[in-house]
Amino acid sequence: MSDRTLRSDRWDDDDEAGRPPFKALTRQEAQALRAKNPPVSPWRVVVVQSVVGVAVAALVWLIWGERPVALSALYGAAVAVVPGALMARGMTSRFSSMNAGTSAVSFMLWEMTKIGVSVVMLAIAPKLVQPLSWPALLAALVLCIKVYWVALLWRGRS
C-alpha cells in the first residue's frame, strides 16, 4: 500500500487536515448553544399545518365556489395534520425520551405509524369524500407538508 492510502484510512488525521480535534462542550457552552438554537415544538408545526390547511380550503372555496373541491382540500390537509399530530403525541411522551436508545426506536416506530396512517387516509379518501378532487387534495397536502420548511426557517432565525 502506498503512503497516501494509509493516510486516507486513518481516523486521527484531523490535525493533518487543519481541523481542530473534537472537543466536548462544557455545561455553560451547551446551555448557550441551546439558548441560541431553541427547538421548535412539534405541536407548533401541527397547529400551523392546521391553519394552512383551513386557509387553503377556504381559498379553494372562494376561487371555485364548489363545496366538494373545498372538502377535498380540507381532507388533504387532514392527511398531513392527523398523522403529524399522532407522531407529535408519541414523540413528546415520557417513554420516548427515557434515553437515546428508546428515543431512536420511538422515532422510527412513530414515523412508520405516520406514513401508514397517511397511506390509509389516502386510500380511503374516495370513499369518504365524494366527489373527490384529487388535485385539490394533493395541493393542500403538499402545502401542509411544506410547513416543515417554515419550521426550519423559524429555527434558523432564532
Q: Where are the alpha helices (DSSP H) in 10-133?
A: 27-36, 42-64, 67-91, 100-128
Q: What is the pLDDT of residues 22-66, one digit of tens each?
A: 788 889 988 888 888 777 788 989 999 999 999 999 999 999 999
Which candidate, 125, 121, 127, 49, places its Cα nearest to that of 79?
A: 121
Q: What is the pLDDT of residues 91-150, one digit of tens each?
A: 888 877 778 888 888 889 999 999 999 999 999 999 999 999 999 999 999 999 999 888
Q: Which three cell numbers stand for residue 95?
A: 417513554
Q: Which sequence spans correspond to the domains of the chain? A: 3-33, 39-157
